[in-house]
Structure formats: C-alpha cells, structure tokens
Amino acid sequence: MNATIRFHQVGHDWLFRIGKLRLVAGINSTLRDGNHVLFWEFDDQSYPEVRGHLEGVQHDFALPDIVIFKASTMLSWHAMCFARLSWRTAITVVAATEGIDLLWFKMSLQRDHWTLRVTDKGNGAPERYAVLEGAPPEATHQELVSAVLYEAWQRGSVAPDG
C-alpha cells in the first residue's frame, strides 16, 4: 500500500509518503560525444494518446524511429529516439511533446540528462511495444555512456490493462 499526505501549514508545503521503494536500473541519454538521444515518460495515458503525442513531435522535428515501451501498465509508457541532439535541443523537443510526465521532466532538467528505467519496479520491466518509423537513426545504444541504480516508488496496485 502506498499513501501520500500533503498539506500546507506555517507557510510550507508538507508531503509525507508511505510505501515500498525498489532498487531499479535506468539508462541515461548522454552520448560519448556529449550530445543526447531523446527519452520520454508518460503516465496515466492510453497507448493511442501517447502514440498521437509522439507522432506529432516526430513529424514536427523530422525525428528518427521512436520506440515505445509499455513501462509497467497499459497507462504507463516510455519512449526513446536515437536522434543525436545537443541537450538544449533535446529539451526543446521533449518539452514540445504533449502529455509528458512533468515531474520526470523537471528531475531530468536538474540532472542535465534523461533517465529511463529498464528493470522491474513491481509491475514488470518495460517491454518494447511499438515503433513509429521515421528518419534513419543518428546514434546507437552502444554510444550511451552511463546507467544508474536508484530507488523508485512501487505502485500500490496494478492498473488493469486496457
């Protein structure tokens, strides 16, 4: 069971969270040459919504293939695209994408790279779900330079697929 309690008192916002943390692994977007590939994270959205958001940004920026991953449920999605972009340009592209997880986006801005979880946090590891065909890739996964172990909150229950 996970529970979050929030309240405002004495000029401060207070947040208490009770739940289970799991150690997970993630990959970072930084390439050997200092550029980045694109990562996205979406929560509480259906596959057709996510696909539509990504098709729009792929068209607007003439991006290479975008691979969509079911992150844990049919309402949780990750995506990656092997475009080779400066960090500033990568921010512009991801920020232009409707429906992204804003907390994930803000944390990424603080770290100067995107991170996507690749292992199970309680409802299954991300699974390749679809590919949106685009321009040829400009980078490869072998050029990614870092990964990370971190703790993630396990969802309280599995959302129904559909």
pTM over 0.75: yes
Residues 85-117 pLDDT 10s: 999 999 999 999 999 999 999 999 999 999 998
The amino acid sitting at 73 is T
| Residue 49, token pair as written in the block | 């919504």
> Tokens 């921010």 map to which residue?
91
CB 134 within 8 A of CB 54: no
H or E segment at 47?
helix 47-61
Residues 15-37 pLDDT 10s: 665 667 777 789 999 999 999 99
Model pLDDT, residue 113: 96
Task: Say what the alpha-carbon torsion angle 137, 143, 145, 151 is, to the nearest 10 degrees.
Answer: 40
Residues 37-91 pLDDT 10s: 999 999 999 999 999 999 999 999 999 999 999 998 889 999 999 999 999 999 9
**Separation of alpha carbons 101 and 64, rounded Å:** 22
Edge-to-edge order in the sheet of strand 147-153:
115-117, 21-28, 147-153
Helix (H/G/I), strand (E/B), else coil: 81: strand
